[in-house]
């Protein structure tokens, strides 16, 4: 498996591949890879000749210093895991902060037609400027035909679609279904940091989302939101940060349901000091 740390060398190698007509898929990650990432890589491998996987804990998208410091970094294990799915068709790009940012670790400021102000944007200040900055840079370095993102970070996915549209980046963005553990918890690198008790209780999040989906058939968005809020009051190990039902296109909270629109329920929860997010399609 080829492994690059330097963007110029990677770009040169990718240019050679493209000259030979090789199609390139791209899976950007922050490492601590799990089966959710592997499902993105596998989808990339099924649709492209080669898949580039970037492994880079992007400092500019963390609004919380401690979260950045404690974010798991497991490069060797990540590479070993990638080898199990496609040793000769995967390229790893694991740059240093300097290779990406030089000596100026700062994000650009973006607007994404207002998508950036909702949910994660409201609770994690500057997060989507950081995500926009790194994803734009990585897309410019890797120049893939298609890039794969998980629907667990659904708002991020919609923002990246908007980034590509607004900046005319020549890449197809592919959203991939959420990968879940057997008990329903959405796979996330942060799950590894849950205490056993919190890990056990965290399955409550998806269970609640599934029931919320059922209730949305007969109740208003407000009614469902009140019900969910009530459920979390009875679950002392989990602290609800937000639950809301939003239009999938605008990500604005729904006021009155329309049969012509598609909705999703979004949730952010603290399990101890670990912040977990999840979402579910409602119609
Ligand atoms: O979803 C993630 O892991 C990150 O936000 C991404 C897209 C790799 C950018 O750092």
Q: Kindly provide the residue ranges of all beta strands, DSSP E only, lying in the chain, ordered along the sequence.
A: 2-4, 24-29, 50-55, 90-93, 146-150, 172-176, 238-247, 263-271, 274-281
**Can you tell me which atom of ligand 1 is nearest the CA of 150?**
1
**Can you tell me which atom of ligand 1 is nearest the CA of 56?**
10
Q: What are phi and psi of 217, to 5 degrees?
A: -65, -35
Mutate to test the pocket of ligand 1, among 56, 153, 186, 188 (most ligand atoms within 8 A of CB): 153
Average of per-residue pLDDT across 225-242:
98
Nearest residue by C-alpha to atom 8 in ligand 1: 29
pLDDT tens per residue, range 193-221: 999 999 999 999 999 999 999 999 999 99
Average of per-residue pLDDT across 8-28:
98
pLDDT tens per residue, range 239-275: 999 999 999 999 999 989 999 999 999 999 999 999 9
What predicted TM-score, i.e. pTM, was given to this entire model? 0.97
Nearest residue by C-alpha to atom 1 in ligand 1: 29
Domains and CATH numbers, the chain: 2-176 (3.40.50.620), 189-281 (3.30.1300.10)
Q: Which residues are catalytic?
A: 37
- Which structure tokens are listed for 10? 């990677």
pLDDT at 25 over 90: yes
Check if 131 has its Cβ closer than 6 Å to any atom of ligand 1.
yes
Check if 134 has its Cβ closer than 6 Å to any atom of ligand 1.
yes
Average of per-residue pLDDT across 69-74:
95
- The pLDDT score that the predictor gives to residue 66 is 94
User: Could you tell me the CA-to-CA distances from 189 to 21, 71, 278 in Å, in that order?
Assistant: 34, 8, 13
- The pLDDT score that the predictor gives to residue 31 is 98
**pLDDT-derived band of residue 13, with 50, 70 and 90 as boundaries?**
very high
- The pLDDT score that the predictor gives to residue 87 is 85
Compute the distance between CA of residue 68 and CA of residue 66 in angstroms, rounded to an integer.
Answer: 5
pLDDT tens per residue, range 136-165: 999 999 999 999 999 999 999 999 999 999
The per-residue pLDDT of the chain, averaged, comes to: 97
Check if 225 has its Cβ closer than 6 Å to any atom of ligand 1.
no
């Amino acid at each position: 498996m080829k492994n690059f740390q330097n963007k110029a060398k990677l770009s040169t190698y990718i240019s050679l591949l493209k000259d030979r007509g090789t199609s390139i898929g791209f899976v950007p990650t922050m490492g601590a890879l799990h089966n959710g990432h592997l499902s993105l890589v596998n989808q990339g491998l099924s649709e492209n000749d080669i898949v580039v996987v970037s492994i880079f804990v992007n400092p500019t998208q963390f609004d919380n210093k401690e979260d950045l410091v404690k974010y798991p970094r497991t490069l060797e294990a990540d590479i070993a895991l990638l080898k199990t799915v496609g040793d000769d068709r995967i390229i790893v790009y694991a740059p240093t902060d300097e290779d990406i940012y030089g000596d100026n670790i700062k994000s650009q400021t973006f607007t994404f037609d207002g998508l950036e102000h909702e949910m994660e944007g409201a609770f994690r200040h500057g997060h989507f400027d950081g995500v926009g900055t790194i994803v734009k840079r990585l897309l410019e370095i890797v120049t893939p035909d298609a890039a794969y993102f998980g629907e667990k970070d659904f708002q991020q996915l919609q923002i990246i679609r908007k980034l590509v549209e607004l900046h005319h980046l020549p890449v197809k963005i592919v959203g991939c279904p959420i990968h879940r553990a057997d008990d329903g918890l959405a796979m996330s690198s942060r799950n590894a940091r849950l205490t056993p008790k919190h890990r056990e209780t965290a399955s409550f999040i998806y269970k609640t989302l599934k029931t919320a989906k059922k209730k949305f058939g007969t109740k208003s968005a407000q009614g469902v939101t009140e019900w969910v809020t009530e459920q979390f009051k009875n679950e002392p190990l989990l602290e609800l940060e937000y639950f809301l039902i939003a239009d999938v296109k605008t990500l604005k909270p729904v006021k009155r349901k329309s049969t012509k629109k598609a909705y999703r329920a979004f949730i952010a929860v603290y399990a101890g000091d670990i912040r977990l997010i999840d979402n579910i399609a409602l119609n």
